Each structure stands twice: as structure tokens, then as C-alpha cells.
Amino acid sequence: MLLSMVLFAFATSPLGLLARREPRALVGWGLALLPFALFVVLCTQIPTVVGGPPIVETLSWVPALGLELRFSLDGLSLLFGLIITGIGTLIVGYAGAYMEKDIGLGRFLVYMFLFMGAMLGVVLAGNVLTMFVFWELTSVTSYLLIGYKHDYPDARRGAQHSLLVTGFGGLALLVGLLMLGAAAQQVGVPADQAYNFDTMLAAGSQIAQTSLYGPAMAFVFLGAFTKSAQFPFHFWLPGAMQAPTPASAFLHSATMVKAGVYLLARMAPGFGDTPIWNYTLVAVGGFTFAFGAFVAFRQYDIKALLAYTTLSQLGGLVLMIGLGGKYGAEALVTLILAHALYKSALFMTAGIIDHETGTRDLNRLGELRRLMPRTMVIVGIALLSQMGIPIMLGFVAKEWALKAALESNLAAPWPMVGLAAIMVAAICYIIAAWRFFKNAFLGTAHPDVLQRNVHDPKLAMLISPAIPALLSILLPFALPLVSTFLSPAASAVYGQSFTFDLYLYGGINQALLLSLGAIVIGGALATQERRLASQRIIASISGAQLFDRLIEGMLAVATGMTRQIQSGRLRTYVLYTVLAFFVFVGIPFIFYGLGDVRTIQNDTFYFYEVVVIGLIPVGVIATITARSRLGAIIAVSMVGAMMALVFVLFSAADLALTQLLIEVLSTVFLLFLFSVMPARFRNFSPTWVRWRDAVIAVCFGVLMSGLVLASVSTTLFQPLAPYYLEQSVPGGKGANVVNVILVDFRSLDTLGEIVVLFVAVLAIFGLLRFRKQRNDVRPSGRTLQTILPGEAGFLTGNAAHEGDSSTPVGKAKENMP
Amino acid sequence: MANHLFLPLISPMLASALALLFARDKTRMVARVIVLASIIFNLIYSIWLLWVVGNEGIQVTQGAGWEAPFGVTLVADGASALMLCVATLLMLVTVSYSFASLDPGYENFFYYPLLLLLLLGVSGAFLTGDIFNLYVWFEILLLASFGLMTLGGSRPQLEGGLKYVVLNLFGSTAFLVACGLIYGTVGSLNMAHVAERMSSVTNPGIVTVIACLFFFAYGGKAAILPLFFWLPTSYHTPPVAVTAIFSGLLTKVGAYSLYRVLGLVLQDELIRLAPFVLAVAGLTMVVGVFGAMAQMNVRRILSFHIISQIGYSLMGLGLASAIGLAAGLLFTAHVMIVKTALFFIGGAAEQVYGTGDLKKMGGIARREPLLSIFWFLGILSLAGIPPMSGFFGKLALLQAGINQGALLISVVAAFTGILTFFSMLKIWNEVFWKKSYGDMSKLPRVTPGLLWPGAILVIISFALGIGAGGLVDYSQMAGAQLFDRAAYISSVCGSNGCEAVVDLALR
């Protein structure tokens, strides 16, 4: 059932395209039936989950990597699942009305449905790798939604930031999860189960002892913090407000951003309660909680204001997990529910205000109480819940958060840190809420507002925020029911099954007093909201700009580096390549190969051998120092001729013949080519370059000689050559063993070499003829020069061919008795 | 004796000769049919080979009938079969893209025969069991690729081609020297035989240096750091179809050879050199992706990514274990497909616009929604986002790395992914999402012939992701075969090993 739910969400996503047609509002609500169906199915599972163990389903996917499609439904998954599908239903209907005039609604809804499937996958996954698969999909769909209006640079920028930050976090998370899996295998969990949540968490205390635990947690935290917009990765979330409001309300307040929190909550029973865990989460969560709230009330854009309270709230959730204990778990799940309800209502009403008045700027609104009374009521209720005013769900949640801090078992300063963060946030929320409400609904209207015919939207749009707002006020009257529903979720976070009871009034106690105190202080400060907002204290910290700088800096480094490396000059490339050869081969040779270099035992040289070999360096030096091309050609032929003589001296007549042929041919080619070039060489390089090149060339030669000496002098094994001699006549029917090797023993090589020649002919003929036909050849005088590369290819191909096949043959010959 | 291993070599060889006869305007269709028939035959054969190797194990045949260490052996194991199959698939798609995109002059001047010869070289390299024979196939594919790169003869092509061929010849020379040295030291060129003899050499010595030389030679072909200069300097010059098939095949043959020669034949040396290989792998990943970030041209960005991804293949090698090699093979097979797809799709956009300059392009998302969808899926796959095949390649590599305790390289590999994504998003933002500055209404539309080759490869990447279970199993089988010297030796030379054959023959 769980698997089919996720598949259903993905499979039905193309249906979103139906919303390309009119009437979009109606189609939107029709399509909202899809998530609603999932919502109903999940609701039917409440009794099973409340009473019993989690429902688990598995389907094999990539067993070799420990990745199976494993889904499990327990209290925590159920809570998230219901929020996703429930709010999803409202949002899809809302989107139909909100984007009634937008032709792209179809595409938008497809992304939304894909996202919903992915998000369901994240919260239902029972295998960390399965979860990761869906986790990445939420990042990608979020990217597409933020960049929905991609004609605008801001939308592209916001989308890119969100994807880079969450994608970076995703990769960190993957590394962290794989480390946890590796650690699980180290402590004896079988490989095929190492990535399942339940087995991993069961082995949690042992994993925490391994050396991998620390780095793994660091990477998991990176993943969770980026996804849930914790400081200092928070900046992508306000940028994500470029998305159309339905997407912001759904992804960036109610669901996706809570994925990080979900993951931490899910891991808490196994990996929680270690110093790394508690202190990191309390510090980061607490800071984000206070920081977000503090920045929130300074915003002018309603959506930005809501975005900052959202990231603050996410910090609060992380803080609860960090504080731990039963109260922490209880506060966490209550906060999640309360926040999802009021924040989605607020976002949707923000969208309504934007839709009706054409602006979200608090300075350009006012007096909407007269024009949009119904909207005002919804906003008012949701804001009361956000502020934590008594009898709202938010009030209950806040009180539990205070209790979690007061009752925490952590070492001395940490509970106080948490408490301080909660108080700061609670006070700032009140200021922010008041700022929103006062500037939008009270006071006198801005002229822009009066010019438009502003009124409450139609019911299709208004009903979506109304439902969660009403739930925020109604649920406190059914707290026992809410408690039974939340208990399994809290149990999943705590790690042991327990039940708890939420209440509105449990007698006078510290938490209540602190809560009321925060309200009083907040109320007092709220009257000064304009003056507070105008103070520039930390507003200059803009993470988005810093991030842009970081990217620009990296791009500058990349450009500089690439320009250095990829200079475009062949001679530089060759130089680098030779230097690389020294690193790759020279250094190992010094370390490992020198020991194998032995002097050649047979040291009786004949006079003519010395002469022939001595003439080779003479030829080489003559080639280098030659002033005219003709001289160079003659000198280089001398080298070739001496090589041929060496072959003769070692009685390899056919090799000598081949070598001579090649020499003659290449001399002819060179003469032909040089006939169109200046007769004398010109010197373009400065002296130090020539000396540098000379040194490199000599080193290279020494290295190659060393290699040959070392390998020739270490023949460890029986040679194969006798076999060829023996089999040449009976098996190969030929007396010339070299020929038999070429055409029989290794005939496949020879066939290949013939093909090489064939390819060379084709390539060069095609190149030259096609060029001629295409008419884009340069004026006739230059054609011969630009042909050079082709000719060079032909030459080298030819020479390489003959050289190659001679090598094994030559070796075979040397080994002959 | 599995003599059928000669079929994938004979088919392109014959077909290229035949197609050459019909390479003129009037008989163009005949040539096309011949080319297609040959490639389709090879594709069917290679799929069959995958199946046979999966069921029956390593397939071996001896060239000219000479028993194993004396003649030239052809061997197909899981790695060869997998690579052969992917390469042939890419060739088929490339040919169909060429039908739609190239002007007739190319056809008249041996474009298709050269493509077939490239396939021949690549297939030979995948199938050979002899180190020197591998060199021969490398020569064929080097020359064929040089011909394809310069065909058309524009000035940038010739300049790029010159750098390409000179730097590659340097690598080839190193390869040849390494062949000679290994023959001088070990006395054989047959891979199984060398592997067997090498397993009795325990101390580092000249053989370690020879292994380094092979690493240098194949590394140059595979475009690792710092031997990749030939790639970005030449890959954006030829027609799109050529760049696409190059990106899919050339560097990957180098990577495959590294796997074969270092992973199997000189395994002990690989284990010794593993930290060095991993360091090069990490640097290659990072430098490649930085290069990509700095570019403002579609094909140049993609070209630098090839380098970065070779780093991943190299990481699989550097892990020096069956699982590591398996993961590397999986990743390489995936990246061959996706990279080629991206070149096709980016090339189609380029062809419409007449330029690959990001600054001048824009607005394709609205104009060509299908092309955009496939491009987006393609970059998801390249960046390793599930459920595309790229995710599984990356997952396998990271998992192997982390389970073996190679944490540093795994972290580098993971975070290179986000930079890859970043530079691909640059193309997405500029070419697809950004509004076009100019009037696009007069530009031609992307024809189905330009669209579907890339699209089908993206769909394959998606399908491989969904059906990753089978693929991962196969790659692990291939990795295990690649790392199991004893089994390889006994398949090639019989259960007593090659040395026994030599002893018997020379008694």
C-alpha cells in the first residue's frame, strides 16, 4: 500500500497537465482529489499505527548496493504524510484559483505532484538510500518550482541557490549515510540490511562507538541543516520565495524544509544523546531560532517575513531534537503540527493579498480590514497561533517547547541556551505578527490599494487557508484526541513507546509564566515595531550575497587555472606532457627501477659497432645545430641509416631493409614539404628556453636508456622464441621465421596494421579532397602549408606501423639462440 | 573456442570496405544501408555476448589457431561485453544523428567508413587479450578518429587535429615502449600469460616502473590530469556527431585499458600504486570540473566534464578491488551513454542557433519543450540524481570508497558532483531558461532526427536507473571477473595455466 501510494503520486503527476485548460479553478479542485485520496488512505491507517508496530513493505531494487525500496509507516511518518497530503490537497485547489490566468498552471501542477510523490517517499522510506533517492527529487522539483517564472533573473538565481545549497547538502548527506552504513557493517550488521533505518538505529549505540560516527554525523548534519535552512545555510529559503505562492506555502513552509528535521528526528533514537549530537543541534537550532525571528520582523515583503519566521521555526524544531528527552519529542511533534497549520494558512493568505492588491509590500498596503474582512479573520487566527496566544494550538506547542528546555538533561549552559532562544523567538514572533497585521489590515490604505478594486477572493481560493487556520483554533478543544494521534510520533522520536497528554492549563508553573512573560514583553515591544525595524543591526549579513561572492571567487579561480593549463600552444602541451612523464615514470624509476639496472655483461665491442653507434649522436647533434633545412634532413637520414646498420650488425636483415625504406620515403616526403618552406631555420626561442629544452631532452633520453637497460637485463622467465623457431616450418610452412610471425603467429596484428594504412589513406584523401570541394581553402599559396597536419598524420601513421610490428619481432629475434 | 568473437571485427571491416565503394551521391542509400546493417548486427551480437558471458563465463578464441601464449588471443569477459555493447549502441545512435545532421560532402568523403573503422578499433581494443594487439587497435582508432576530426578541413579542425594527433602519438609511443619493456622483462605479451608470470614477482622493481608507464600511456588516452590537453583543444571543432561519439568512446577505451592492464594483468603493481592513482583521480575530477566552470560554450563545457568524469573512472581503478572496479565500470558505462546524449541535445540546440556561445543563446525551454525535458533529465543523470543511471554509478563508487576506508577521495568525488551540477545548470540557465535576446521566430525548429538520438539515450539512462538492479549485478560480476586473475588465466590457457602450456610446447 505504501509503495503504491508513492507510485500513485508519481504516476498521476502528468494529469496536472489537464490544468492547461479552462476553467482552471474547477480543474484545480478536481485535481486536488488526487492528494485527497492519499490523505484518506493515510487516515484509515491511523488506528493501526496508534496501536501497533510500524507497517513495513519492501520491494527489491538494487540489492547489491543495499538499496531496496523499503517503506515503513509509523507515527512520525504518518504525521508527516498527513501534513503532506492534507495541505497538498488544499494547495492544489488553491493553486487552481490563484493561477487561474496562468497558462503554465499545468506544468506547475505536474511539478507539484512530482514533489508530493518525492516528499511522501522521503517520509515513508524505511531505508536510508531509498530516502536519499526521494530526498534528491524534492530538491530538483523545488528547483523547478522556484524557477517557474524563469524569464526573470531573480527566479533563476533563487532556484540556483536553492539547488546548489540543498544539492551540496544532499551529497554530504549521501556521504554521511554511506559512512553510517559502513559503520553498521563494521559492527556486524549484515550488508544487505546495513542501510535499513530499523537495523541501523538498533545498532546505533555501537555505531556511535566507531571512528566513523563523528564524520558521518558531521555530513548528515550538513545535509539536514542545508535542507532545513539552518544558519548559515538559511539564505536560500528567502530566495526560494521567488516561487509562485502555492509552491512557497507547500514546499518552503509546510513540507520540504521539514525534511531535514524529519531526518534528524528519525535518527534521534539511534544516534541521539551523544555530545556531538546534542550540542551541535542546540547551538545551531537555537541560533537559527532566535536569528530568524529577529530578522523576520524587519522585513517589508510579507513573504520574506514569513520565510524568516519559517526558518526560525525550523531552528526551533532542530533545537527540540537537540534538547532531547520525552518533552523534547512531545514538543517537536506538537510544534510541527501547529506550524504546518498556521504557516500554510499565512502563506496562502499572503498570496491572496498579493493576488488582490498586486503587492506584498507592507508599506504599500493598509486598511484591508474594510476591503478584505474574511481574509483578515483567517490571518488573525493564524497569527494568534503563531504568536502563541492562549487557547491556540501554537500556545500549547510553545509551552511544551519551554518545558523541553526546562526539563532537559543536558549539561549546564545548554538548556539555558535553548530557553533563551525560545524566549527571543517568542517575543520576536509577536512583533513580526503585529507588524504584518497592523500594516496590512489596520491604518489607512495606501493610494495604490484604493486604485484597485480590492475585495475578498472567491471561495475556491479562500477555503484553503481557512481550513488550517480554523484547525489551529479548534484542535485545542480536542487535545486528548490530538495527543493520542501525536503520541506514536513522539514515541518514534524518543525511541520508546509512550503516551502523553497535551493540555491548555496545567496549573501555574515556570513554563506558563515564561510563556505569558514573553507575550507581555512582545506586546510591549510590538507597539514600537517601526522603530525596531528601522534599527540596522545585523541586516547587513546577506548570505545570498556572500554565496554569490563565493561562486564568483570560484569561477575566477577556475578561469585563471584553466587559462594557465589550457594555453592553446602545442609546444606548451608537449612540455607539460614530458614533465608529466618524468613524474609518472621518472620518479618511480628512481625509487624502484634503479636497482634493476645492470651493466651489460658482454663488454667486448667490435670496432665497427663503436663507429656505427658513435655516429648516431653525431647525427642527432648535427640535426639540431643545422642552419638549413637541407642540412637537417641529411643529418637526420644519417641517424636512420646508422639504425639500419645496427640491425644489419645484429643480423636482422629484413628489419634493416624496412628501416632503410622508411628512411628513403621520409626523406622524400621531407624534401617535398620543405620545398615550400624557407630554406633556413629561424630561431624564435630565447636562449634559456633552448637550454631548458636541452636539459629536458637529455633527461628524457637518460630515463629511456635506463628503462631499456633495466628491463633488458632482468629477464626472469623462459623465452617463447624457441617455440616460433620450432613451429615455423611445420606449423607455419615458412622458413623465414619473421615472416611467419607476421603473417601467421601474429597475423591479427598484421591485419590491424593493414587497416591502419587503409584508414590513413581514407582520412587523408577525404580531408584533402573535401577541403578542395568545399572552397573554404585559403588562397593557393597557403594551401600546402595548411595541409601539414594531414601529411604529418600520414607520415607518423606509416612510420609507427612499421616500427610497431618490428618490436616484438625484434625482441623475439634477440632472444633466439 | 568461441570463434564468434571475430564477428564484431569482421563486420565493420567488411562493411567499411563495401560502403567505400558506394560513397557517392547516387548510391548514398546503399552505403547507408550497409553501414546500418553492420552496426545493427554488431549491436545484436554484443547484446547476445552480454548474455553469453553472463551465463557461461569468459569467452576465448585464439587468432590463427595458435594456442594461447603464442598467438593473439581474443577474450570477452563481463567488462569487455559491457563496454562493447554500450559502444555499439552509441555508434548506432551516432550514425542516425549523422543521417539527420551532416551535409552530403561528408558522406562522399568516407565519413561512414571512418566511423565503422573507429568502431572496429574500439571493439578490437575491448576484445583483445594481447597487450601488443591492443596497441594495434589503438592505432586504428587513433587514425580513424583523427580522420573524423579533421574531415571538413576547416582551420580550427586542422589546428585541433594537429594537437590531438601529436599529443596522442606521444601517448602511443609510451604505450609502445611499455609493450617492448614488458616483453623484455616478462617475455610474453599475452595478457593472461603476463598476469600469471607477474603473480610470481612480489618485490617492486622495474615492473612497477613499467606499470607506471602503462598508466602514463593509457592515462593520456583517457585524458587524466595532466595529460588531457588534447581533449578540450580539439573536441569542439568537428561536427556535433563526431564530438558526441568521441566523448562516448575515445577516453573510455583508455579507461578500459587501464582497467584491463593495471586492474588485471599488473594487479599487484596497481595495489602498490593505488594511492597515487587515487590522488590523480581526485585532481582530475576537480581540475576537469573547474575547467568546465570557466567555459562559456556548450561543447567546451561538456568536453571538460569528460575529463572530470574520467577522474571517477580512475577512482574505481584506484580502489584496487573487485567492488571498486565494478563501480568504475558501472560509472563508465553510464557516463558513455549520458555524455553522448548531452552532446547530441546540446548540439541540436547549437545547430538551431548556429552558435554554441551561451551568451548568444536563450529561450529554448519555451520553444523546444521536449528538447528541454531531455536535456534536464540528462543533466540530472550526469549530476547523479536518482532515479537516473548516474546516481547508481556514483552511489556504487562512493559506497565502495567509503566501505574500503578511502574517505578523502569519496568526499572529493561527492562534492565534485555539485560543481558538475553547477556548470551544467549554467547551460540550463543560459540556453534554456533565459529569455532569448534576439528574435527566434526565424530560426529553424529542431527536427525529430536531431532530437531522438539524444532522447533515446536519455531514456536508456532512465531505464537503466529504474532497472539498476540487473545492471549493478552485471557490473559486479564483471568487476569480480576483472579482478580474478586465476579465473582469467585458466579461461585463456586452460586450468593448468599458461606456463604449463609453454613448458609442454618447449619440452
- A577 and A487 assigned to the same domain: no
| B476 interfacial to chain A (CB closer than 8 Å) | yes
Q: Which of B3, B206, B367, B410 would best serve as a mutation to test chain A binding (most A beta carbons within 10 A)?
A: B206
Beta strands in B123-252 (DSSP E): none
- DSSP category for residue A778: P
Contact B13 A755 (CB under 8 A): yes
Nearest CB among B189, B197, B206 relative to A717 is that of B197
Contact B71 A708 (CB under 8 A): no
Q: How confident is the model at residue A501 (pLDDT cuts 50, 70, 90)?
A: confident
Among B30, B80, B67, residue whose Cα is nearest residue B477: B80
> Residues 305-364, chain B: which have Cβ within 8 Å of A?
none
- Residue B203 pLDDT exceeds 80: no
Q: How far is CA A747 from the centre of its chain?
A: 50
Q: How confident is the model at residue A816 (pLDDT cuts 50, 70, 90)?
A: very low
| B232 interfacial to chain A (CB closer than 8 Å) | yes
* Beta carbon pairs, A and B, within 8 Å: 365
Nearest CB among B105, B132, B294 relative to A808 is that of B132
The whole-angstrom separation of Cα B398 and Cα B414 is 7
- Residue A813 pLDDT exceeds 50: no
Q: Which of A69, A220, A570, A585 would best serve as a mutation to test chain B binding (most B beta carbons within 10 A)?
A: A585
Contact residues on chain A for B139, CB-CB shorter than 8 A: 752-753, 756, 797, 800-801, 804
CA atoms within 13 Å, Cβ hemisphere of A612: 16
Residues β-bridged to residue A71: A57, A125
Contact residues on chain A for B117, CB-CB shorter than 8 A: 755, 758-759, 762
For residue A750, give the chain B residue with the closest CA.
B136
- A703 and A578 assigned to the same domain: yes
Q: How confident is the model at residue A535 (pLDDT cuts 50, 70, 90)?
A: low
Contact B506 A718 (CB under 8 A): yes
For residue A787, give the chain B residue with the closest CA.
B158
How does pLDDT run across B412-426, given as a tens digit for each residue? Answer: 999 998 999 998 998
Residue A186 falls within a domain, yes or no? no
Q: How confident is the model at residue A563 (pLDDT cuts 50, 70, 90)?
A: confident
| B215 interfacial to chain A (CB closer than 8 Å) | yes
- Residue B143 pLDDT exceeds 70: yes
- Residue A539 pLDDT exceeds 70: no
Contact B233 A566 (CB under 8 A): yes
Contact A796 B167 (CB under 8 A): no
Output the domain CATH number for residue A635: 1.20.120
For residue A706, give the chain B residue with the closest CA.
B206
For residue A571, give the chain B residue with the closest CA.
B163
- Residue A797 pLDDT exceeds 60: no
- A723 and A605 assigned to the same domain: no
Contact B132 A773 (CB under 8 A): no
For residue A742, give the chain B residue with the closest CA.
B71
For residue A184, give the chain B residue with the closest CA.
B403
- Residue A795 pLDDT exceeds 70: no
Give the pLDDT confidence score for residue A21 in this predicted structure: 78
The pLDDT mean for chain A works out to 85
- A371 and A482 assigned to the same domain: yes
- A809 and A758 assigned to the same domain: no
Contact B386 A137 (CB under 8 A): yes
Q: What is the mean pLDDT of residues A274-279?
A: 89
Q: What is the mean pLDDT of residues A423-439?
A: 88
Residue A672 falls within a domain, yes or no? yes
Contact A777 B153 (CB under 8 A): yes
What's phi and psi for A629, nearest 5 deg? -65, -40
Give the pLDDT confidence score for residue A796 in this predicted structure: 34
Give the pLDDT confidence score for residue A779 in this predicted structure: 36
The domain of A755 spans 718-776
Q: How many domains does chain A have?
A: 4
Q: Can you read off the three cell numbers belonging to residue A135?
A: 530526498
Nearest CB among A62, A185, A708 relative to B468 is that of A62
Alpha helices in B354-497 (DSSP H): 364-367, 369-383, 389-403, 407-427, 448-466, 468-483, 485-493
Residue A26 falls within a domain, yes or no? no
Give the pLDDT confidence score for residue B361 in this predicted structure: 84
Give the pLDDT confidence score for residue B349 in this predicted structure: 87
Nearest CB among B113, B187, B422 relative to A720 is that of B187
Give the pLDDT confidence score for residue A673 in this predicted structure: 85
- A396 and A480 assigned to the same domain: yes
Contact A774 B105 (CB under 8 A): yes
The pLDDT mean for chain B works out to 92
- Among A441-445, A485-489, B28-32, B392-396, the range scoring the smallest mean pLDDT is A441-445
For residue B507, give the chain A residue with the closest CA.
A723
Give the closest-approach CA distance of A337 to chain B in angstroms: 30
Contact residues on chain B for A588, CB-CB shorter than 8 A: 208-209, 212
Give the closest-approach CA distance of A86 to chain B in angstroms: 26
The whole-angstrom separation of Cα A313 and Cα A317 is 6
- Among A67-71, A405-409, A676-680, the range scoring the smallest mean pLDDT is A676-680
- A702 and A746 assigned to the same domain: no
Contact A800 B177 (CB under 8 A): no
Residue A257 falls within a domain, yes or no? no
- Residue A275 pLDDT exceeds 90: no
ipTM above 0.85, yes or no: yes
Question: Hey, how many other C-beta atoms are within 10 angstroms of the C-beta on B295?
Answer: 25
Q: What pTM value is reported for the model?
A: 0.91
Residue A585 falls within a domain, yes or no? yes
Contact B433 A756 (CB under 8 A): no
Contact by Cβ (8 Å): A375, A349:
yes
The whole-angstrom separation of Cα A396 and Cα B438 is 58
Contact residues on chain B for A778, CB-CB shorter than 8 A: 155
Element (H, E) at A62: strand A55-62
Grid-cell match 533529465, residue found: B377
- Residue A124 pLDDT exceeds 80: yes
Contact A562 B136 (CB under 8 A): no
Give the closest-approach CA distance of A425 to chain B in angstroms: 34
Residue A107 falls within a domain, yes or no? no
Residue A78 falls within a domain, yes or no? no
Contact by Cβ (8 Å): A651, A674:
no
Give the pLDDT confidence score for residue B82 in this predicted structure: 96
Q: What is the mean pLDDT of residues B441-445?
A: 78
Q: Which of B109, B111, B137 would best serve as a mutation to test chain A binding (most A beta carbons within 10 A)?
A: B109
- A421 and A502 assigned to the same domain: yes
Residues β-bridged to residue A58: A70
Nearest CB among A747, A762, A804 relative to B135 is that of A804
% of residues, chain B, pLDDT over 90? 70
% of residues, chain A, pLDDT over 90? 34
Q: Torsion angle of alpha carbons A255, A256, A262, A264, nearest 10°?
A: -150
| B387 interfacial to chain A (CB closer than 8 Å) | yes
Q: Which residue has the higher pLDDT, A523 or B284?
A: B284
% of residues, chain A, pLDDT over 70? 93
- Residue B459 pLDDT exceeds 80: yes
Contact B72 A707 (CB under 8 A): no
- A369 and A314 assigned to the same domain: yes
The whole-angstrom separation of Cα B498 and Cα B495 is 9
Give the pLDDT confidence score for residue B184 in this predicted structure: 87
Choose one of A671, A694, A717: the last residue of a domain.
A717
Nearest CB among B113, B180, B396 relative to A807 is that of B180
The whole-angstrom separation of Cα A403 and Cα A640 is 92
Give the closest-approach CA distance of A20 to chain B in angstroms: 15
Contact residues on chain B for A64, CB-CB shorter than 8 A: 469, 472-473, 476
Give the pLDDT confidence score for residue A537 in this predicted structure: 56
Give the closest-approach CA distance of A794 to chain B in angstroms: 9
Contact B150 A790 (CB under 8 A): yes
Q: Torsion angle of alpha carbons B43, B49, B50, B54, nearest 10°?
A: 170
Residues β-bridged to residue A59: A69
> Residues 152-211, chain B: which have Cβ within 8 Å of A?
152-155, 158-159, 161-163, 165-167, 169-170, 172, 174, 176-177, 179-189, 197, 201, 204-206, 208-210
- A593 and A738 assigned to the same domain: no
Nearest CB among B174, B204, B429 relative to A156 is that of B429
How does pLDDT run across A242-267, given as a tens digit for each residue? Answer: 888 889 888 887 788 999 999 999 99
Nearest CB among B109, B162, B414 relative to A171 is that of B414
Give the pLDDT confidence score for residue B309 in this predicted structure: 94
Grid-cell match 526573470, residue found: A152
Contact A762 B110 (CB under 8 A): yes
Residue A133 falls within a domain, yes or no? no
- Residue B290 pLDDT exceeds 60: yes
Q: What is the mean pLDDT of residues A26-39?
A: 90
How does pLDDT run across A164-215, given as a tens digit for each residue? Answer: 999 999 999 999 999 999 999 999 888 888 899 989 988 888 898 899 999 9
- A381 and A483 assigned to the same domain: yes
- Among A230-244, A530-544, B247-261, the range scoring the smallest mean pLDDT is A530-544
For residue A232, cis peptide bond before it (omega within 30 degrees of 0): yes
Q: What is the mean pLDDT of residues B351-375?
A: 85
Contact B113 A762 (CB under 8 A): yes
